[in-house]
Amino acid sequence: MKEGLHPKWYPEAKVFVAGEEVMTVGSTIPEIRVEIWSGTHPFYTGQQRLVDTEGQVDRFMRRLQKREELLVQEEKKEEKAKPVNLSVEAMSLGTRAVKALQEAEVATVGEVLALLEKGEDALLALPGIGQKALIDIKRFLRAEGLIE
């Protein structure tokens, strides 16, 4: 055999399972640490044994939970971005009309749309909302595709 070509051979390398020496074999390393060997493997023992190396199930469950949280956050973001969920300030009506809607406890575009479905008079009945504000409201709702 040529010198310096092959790794050092340990004819009595010890095999450890869970801190216990279970056998000796020939190897290129002096100690071998394993989690499963023929004495504990279900194929050889005939017993079913759950093997969870480094918490694979726990890691999977954490990843799954994180993914579900991200999906929920994404849904919330999409829901918030819908035009009916925007605040009345997003309609660019002017401070007087926005203040009038807020005083009437109308905070979102969806609530304005609900009032408009009752009729234009329902919006015009609010103090501070006039024809110009009504026109601006309708223009915004048409631009967002909420009315025709």
- CA 29 vs CA 39, 53, 127: distances in Å: 21, 23, 88
| pLDDT per position as a tens digit, 19-57 | 889 899 999 999 999 888 877 777 777 776 566 566 777
Residue 88: CB atoms within 10 Å: 21
The answer to whether position 2 is within a domain reads no
Residues 120 and 138 in one domain: yes
pLDDT at residue number 50 = 62
Domain hosting 39: range is 10-49
The top-scoring range by mean pLDDT among 77-81, 97-101, 144-148 is: 97-101
The answer to whether position 4 is within a domain reads no
- In CATH, what number is assigned to the domain containing residue 34? 4.10.80
Mean pLDDT of 3-10: 88
